[in-house]
Structure 1
Amino acid sequence: MKCPYCGYEESKVVDSRSTEDSTAIRRRRECSKCGKRYTTYEKVEDIPILVVKKDASREYFDRNKIIAGLIKACQKRPISRAQIENIAEDVEKNLSNQMISEIRSDAIGEIIMKKLKNIDEVAYVRFASVYRQFKDINTFMEEIKSLMCNK
């Protein structure tokens, strides 16, 4: 770490603590040459995840899009906002832990559907109907029958 005052590359850490939101570590340093103190922040580098859409376009992963879709699917269902946010957080953590840089949108949808299926079947069918783009009542009924058979 170069001193911002004299450019010397050696310093010692005088104080170290987490930031208020615990997303970084704040360090007070003292230059070994000029003795001046300065502050640095250290945080974990996020690897951006690109989502490959059905039309082959790419966009950055956005947890808020998952939350918005889940809110629609869970409307008037006994599912709390905290549960919805937990699903979105679990999906994001799952993708980050895999250390992948790209994922297809349908793979994200499948992960969400597995989680919804365990929480609320009606919300699951609603999400699946939009996600899988059910063309008619027969595909809708097939999904419901598969749900009933897996009980």
Structure 2
Amino acid sequence: MILSKKNRTKITLFLCCIFISINTIFAYAVTTIMTYNGEGIRQKPSVNSFSLSKTTSITVKHNTTAVRYIGTTSPDNYKLIIYLQRKNGLSYSYTGDSFSLKGIGSKSKTWNKGSGRYRLFFQSPYPGEGQIWAGFDINGKVTK
């Protein structure tokens, strides 16, 4: 069956409206549950934390905007590791979930996590005595 130009235009317009509506619904479904930022971070937990009441898919959207204390060395030689920690009683422990980013850039990571209170822990690996220990300027958010 061959459609007339007028019918093709109507169908195309209808499909575009459906596509935009679906994207709008999904865009509003994403909720930011924690934000963070810091300068010169070497080894530090996030100041903020977040709670989940049930098993939820969470995404960490991380940005490294600068690498400090490295002199003329390339920022790409330095790595920041982002760990997810869960509160157990009075302290936090590692969940086994982490990702890393070398140099300046952005990266996202998604996990399914159960109910509980969580935070992030940022670590620039200590290179050893007499070596340069880089600090990172960072920002990001956790969404569900």
- Global fold match (TM > 0.5): no
Greater relative contact order structure (CA < 8 Å, 6+ sep): 2
Higher helix share: 1
TM-score in terms of structure 1 length: 0.29
TM-score in terms of structure 2 length: 0.30
Higher strand share: 2
